[in-house]
A and B are shown apart, each in its own frame.
Chain A
Amino acid sequence: MIPLSHLLTVSIGLFAIGLFGALSRRNAIGILMAIELILNAAALAFVAFNAYGIPAADRDAALGQTAALFIIGIAAAGAIVGLALVLAVYRHQRTIFADDMHLLKG
């Protein structure tokens, strides 16, 4: 039997790697991918807690899985808008490197 803490460790690992990627990738699409990793880590934690019976009430028995579904939906919306923004910036600035986008820098 796997203890819940091991599952949470996997989730934490995914989150930390995603955070590192979001902070250090130069490519804007790479940053989007790292954010997907972070969202997956959160969804995994939700599902893990749910599988170990954390919302114990009968009415909320599927709360964790519902939250994970919502996370997947919001991730889809985020990816769509993020990619549209990247394409718009690429069209104007001819770059998709986040550290070359300094139009607002004083």
Chain B
Amino acid sequence: MTDAWLLTVLSPMARAAFYLLAAVTLAGALGVTLTRNLFHSALWLAVTLLGVAGLYLYLGAEFLAVVQVLIYVGAILVLLLFGVMLTARIADPAVPALNRHALLAALVALCTGWALRLAVRQAAALPAGPVAPVPLETLGRGLVTTYVLPFEVLSLILIGALVGAVVIARPERRS
């Protein structure tokens, strides 16, 4: 099983698939930031999220890929689309999509990316190759043993966010 997985990863076809996935992911991200129409932006975000899910699959994290599709594409993206459609003047081409600091923002992003790339290149010892994928059982067991406290805190955060969102978004009572 493990050997078969390693063989799949090592084969040139999987290699080509990886670079294709990476290109799709980055192109989608560019679409998210540069598209004028916010609705199209959200659709490009779906492309990026699915690309990242594919990368998770490539890395042997099948469960995370499924979670990514279910939670991100299924829930968060639909929520964002609702937000897009609830607010008017989205698709108006006369409204500029970027603010007047766009050039400065591009400079900051480029410098940050360059610095991070430099850090990766100068890292002392990156591991040479992938190891056998983590079985799902290890992930699940960790969630209810070692990481049970962060897990519970996360559920509290979600409850707090839900209640807070309802309170914030509720129309005000006229008194």
Range, interface on chain B: 35 or more
Of B32, B96, B147, the residue contacting A21 (CB under 8 A) is B32
Please name all residues of chain A whose beta carbon is closer than 8 Å to the beta carbon of B99 when the two chains form the complex.
24-26, 98-99
Chain B interface secondary structure, helix, strand, loop or mixed?
A: helix
Say whether, besides A4-B127, A84-B169, A47 and B59 are in contact (CB < 8 Å). yes
Number of chain A residues whose Cβ lies closer than 8 Å to a Cβ of chain B:
74
In the bound complex, CA of A94 to CA of B154 (Å):
33
Of B55, B138, B154, the residue contacting A73 (CB under 8 A) is B154
In the bound complex, CA of A71 to CA of B28 (Å):
20
Task: Give B residues with C-beta under 8 Å from A.
Answer: 9-10, 15, 18, 22, 25-26, 29-30, 32-33, 38, 41-42, 45, 48-49, 52, 55-56, 59-61, 63-64, 67-68, 71-72, 75-76, 79-80, 82-84, 86-87, 90, 95-102, 104-106, 108-110, 112-113, 116-117, 120-121, 126-131, 133-134, 138-139, 142-143, 146-147, 150-151, 154, 157-158, 160-162, 164-166, 168-169, 171
Supply 16 A–B pairs (Cβ within 8 Å), ascending by A.
Answer: A6-B18, A10-B26, A12-B120, A16-B113, A17-B33, A23-B109, A24-B33, A24-B106, A40-B48, A51-B131, A52-B127, A73-B154, A76-B161, A79-B80, A81-B168, A87-B168
